[in-house]
Amino acid sequence: MNIIEKILAKHANKSEVKPDEIIDVFIDTRAARDFGGANVVKNLLDNGLTIADPKRTIFTFDCNPGGSDQKYAQNQQYCRQYARENGITIYDVNLGIGTHLAIDGGLAWPGCTFVSTDSHANIMGAIGSFGQGMGDQDIAAAWAKGSVWFKVPKSVKINLNGKRPANVSAKDIVLNLLSIFGANKLLGFSVEICGEEADKLTLAERITISSMGTEMGVIIIFFTPSAEIMKYCEEKTGRKLEPVFADANANYEQIHDIDISKFVPIVARPGHPHDDISVASVKNTKIDSAFIGSCTNGRIDDLRIAGDILRNNKVAPGVVLKIVPATDAVWNQCLEEGLIKIFKTAGAMVSNPGCAGCAAGQVGQNGPGEVTISTGNRNFEGKQGKGLMYLASPAVVAASAVAGFITTPDDLPKDPAIFEKKEYLKKSPVVKRAVVEKPLVFEGKVWMINKDDIDTDMIFHNRYLAITDIKEMGQYAFDNLKGYEDFAKKAKPGDIVITAKNFGAGSSRQQAVDCFLSLGISCLIAESYGAIYERNAINAALPILTYNPEKLASVELQNGDNVRVDIIKGSLTNLKNNKTTEIDKFTDVQIDIYKNGGLL
């Protein structure tokens, strides 16, 4: 077996597991964040469920440290009250990003299982641990039962061959990989990264790469723990640990040999983390702001790199540089090493630890027309505001903040760039829709949305994440998807959405599913789904199905056609021409959950 199969088998009390096998997996540590936590608690209370093991259950408040938004503050306090009643530990707004706290606090370790409402919980692959982001119902089930169902994923091995260039950072490595594999070529796979250069990567570098596995569409990116990382985790847990290694004859669906010596410093262009191009190709692009932080690049190693560039330099006039350490411990280390003084002297804004603008709950957001260069993991349109977001390494971001335009540390200008005026956009009005019941056979009008990689920020933007009432969610469906901003106004109960690959990529937010339930959309049909989104939809009893493009083409569907969909037989009929084709029917697990009215 490979790494993920060994970890899942152990936690399912099995001697071995196979890809596509559905198993119940025991979860060592079960976390909920501030925005998802309130819905987790609501699910537990509404269903009369209790906590299986409070010692394995935690809250992490990292999306909106300080509760600057009233709904966040309300949700945080709601979770605090529940935690006090049930003996649950809270890592509150002063401590930083939950996944980093789990690694640094011994709450996760090589070979363990960890789940959170954070879609980047798969960051645990950096230490050889299985982490997974999940929706509110999944986490509620984990809290109540201690285990959750998983489908064992197929695995891929990526061998990094050759010598890593000196100017290529961990962020450059993962952006280069995204440029090769995109957002869906490895969709749903578990990935192991191997090779001599991979073995040399530090903990911070592994975290950077594993953190962006979500953006690649993979379940998780694993690294075999080095001796240094094992020692670190043993110090944090206070016990001897056994790393998990893949067997020499482990089975992989694919093996890719990549020449890392050809990698170059790279940036992701606004809109998609996988739309990557060399830094040299976009040099001199004017920026309005810069951000250094997030779970991807908020470690002390990242901030030291920024400090080396900002020392004896100033942030360009009018540019706003926002720096957010990942944890309170990193913040204090910056203070002790004099980095905070360097940042402040250079003109940067330094905030308390947390996710920052990446979660739209702290500093780091941008306005309409604003061009930002960021060390974050996502740059989906609207993810951190209405502006444009480039992704890059800490070195490139710091250098660009000094120059006022995108550049590299070895090419800083004598004089920084000058700003121009920007225009701003207005958001469209929205309308509420009612929920309708869904039978086993549906008839409705088709919305043909032929776009790959429609992410959860396009479906249900993170500025609405504090909403817990499903009745309020429908009005925001697709309001951040170009060309479909008026979807919620025009959609009717019973309508059917047919889309392409990797629908629901990105965040673990349940609202991206519930907004369609709120509108009364009868079912979703896609070529493939983001892994977390698929789980959320199944668990919420929203019918989702998949199709073969060639078979679907045979029924000659056009936007607005009426169709009949049978989720048990797995069939779709175009009622305009009475042509029928096969689609993938419900699995047994999906049928059980659907008939039960949802996971809980």
Question: Structure tokens of 237?
Answer: 């847990």
Question: Structure tokens of 302?
Answer: 């990242």
Q: Locate the DSSP E strands across 109-186.
A: 113-116, 130-133, 147-151, 155-161
Question: What was the pLDDT predicted at 71?
Answer: 79
**Which of 377, 320, 387 is CA-nearest to residue 347?**
320
What is the secondary structure of 479-500 as a DSSP string?
TTSTT-TTHHHH--TT-EEEE-
Question: What was the pLDDT predicted at 74?
Answer: 87
What is the largest distance, in Å, between two alpha-carbon atoms of the chain? 72
For residue 200, count other CB atoms closer than 10 A to its CB: 11
For residue 281, count other CB atoms closer than 10 A to its CB: 13
Q: How confident is the model over 421-435, as pLDDT tens digits?
A: 545 445 556 655 444
Q: How confident is the model over 438-477, as pLDDT tens digits?
A: 578 999 999 999 999 999 999 999 888 888 899 999 999 9
Compute the distance between CA of residue 295 and CA of residue 42 in angstroms, rounded to an integer: 27
Question: What was the pLDDT predicted at 427?
Answer: 55
Q: Which residues of 129-161 are buried (b: 16+ CB within 10 A; e: fewer)?
A: bbbbbbbbbbbbbbbbebbbbbbbbbbbbbbbe
**Which of 278, 268, 333 is CA-nearest to residue 307?**
333
**Which of 260, 311, 290 is CA-nearest to residue 417?**
290
Q: Are 257 and 334 in contact (CB under 8 A)?
A: no
Place of tokens 């979807």: 487
CATH number for 441-595 (one of 3.20.20.140, 3.20.19.10, 3.90.1150.10, 1.10.3210.10): it is 3.20.19.10
How, if at all, do strands 155-161 and 254-259 pair?
parallel
| CATH code of domain 3-262 | 3.30.499.10
Compute the distance between CA of residue 185 and CA of residue 198 in angstroms, rounded to an integer: 21
CATH number for 266-411 (one of 3.30.365.10, 3.40.50.2300, 3.30.499.10, 3.10.310.10): it is 3.30.499.10
Q: How confident is the model over 538-558, as pLDDT tens digits?
A: 999 999 999 999 999 999 999
Q: How confident is the model over 528-541, as pLDDT tens digits?
A: 999 999 999 999 99
Question: What was the pLDDT predicted at 424?
Answer: 40
Equal fold, 3-262 vs 441-595? no
Mapped onto helix, strand or coil, the DSSP state of residue 536 is helix
Question: What was the pLDDT predicted at 428?
Answer: 59
- Is 0.95 topped by the overall pTM? no
Q: How many residues does the chain have?
A: 600
What is the secondary structure of 15-74 as a DSSP string?
S---TT-EEEEE-SEEEEEHHHHHHHHHHHHHTT---S-GGGEEEE--SSTT--SHHHHH
Q: Cα angle vertex 110, ends 107, 116, to 5°?
A: 45
Where along the chain do its domains lie? Answer: 3-262, 266-411, 441-595
Q: Which residues of 559-576 are buried (b: 16+ CB within 10 A; e: fewer)?
A: eebebbbbbeebebbbee
Compute the distance between CA of residue 62 and CA of residue 65 in angstroms, rounded to an integer: 6
For residue 97, what pLDDT band results from cuts at 50, 70 and 90? Answer: very high
Q: Are 135 and 115 in contact (CB under 8 A)?
A: no
Q: Are 131 and 116 in contact (CB under 8 A)?
A: yes
Place of tokens 């817990």: 468
Question: What was the pLDDT predicted at 194?
Answer: 97
Q: Cα angle vertex 149, ends 148, 153, to 5°?
A: 125
Q: How confident is the model over 282-326, as pLDDT tens digits?
A: 999 999 999 999 999 999 999 999 999 999 999 999 999 999 999
Q: Which of 22-26, 39-43, 414-418 is predicted least confidently?
A: 414-418
Q: Is 247 exposed, middle or buried (0-12, 13-18, 19+ CB in 10 A)?
A: exposed
Q: Which residues of 454-477 are buried (b: 16+ CB within 10 A; e: fewer)?
A: bbbbbbbbbbbbbbbebebbbbbb
How, if at all, do strands 220-222 and 155-161 pair?
unpaired
For residue 511, count other CB atoms closer than 10 A to its CB: 29
Provide CB contacts within 8 A for 73, sequence distance 6+: 64, 67
Q: Are 87 and 80 in contact (CB under 8 A)?
A: no
Asked if pLDDT for residue 24 goes beyond 90, the answer is: yes
For residue 437, what pLDDT band results from cuts at 50, 70 and 90? Answer: low
